[in-house]
């Protein structure tokens, strides 16, 4: 193929990659929704879970350690 893609690839796989990379790149879900003819709800349902995990990992790695004080 002219694009250098494997013959087994599909437009769906390219679309999935675009949506995932756009989310990771901070593109608005509304813009992705319009570009891909997919609802924001479907994007949130099908694509956001891995990014929720990444967000949690980022917070856990970067958040300052808080000291716990007990009041007696």
**List of residues 6+ apart from 40 with CB closer than 8 A:** 29, 30, 33
Is the separation of the CB atoms in 20 and 12 below 8 Å? Answer: no
Span 8-46, pLDDT tens digits: 777 888 898 999 999 888 899 999 999 999 999 999 898
2 or 28: whose pLDDT is higher? Answer: 28
71 or 3: whose pLDDT is higher? Answer: 3
Q: Domain coordinates of the chain in residue numbers?
A: 1-51
Q: What is the pTM of this model?
A: 0.61
């Amino acid at each position: 193929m002219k694009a250098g893609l494997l013959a087994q690839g599909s437009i769906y796989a390219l679309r999935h990659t675009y949506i995932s990379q756009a989310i990771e790149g901070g593109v608005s879900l509304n813009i992705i929704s319009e570009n891909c003819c997919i609802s924001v709800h479907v994007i949130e349902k099908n694509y956001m879970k891995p990014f929720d995990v990444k967000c949690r990992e980022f917070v856990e790695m970067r958040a300052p350690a808080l000291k716990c004080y007990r009041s007696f």
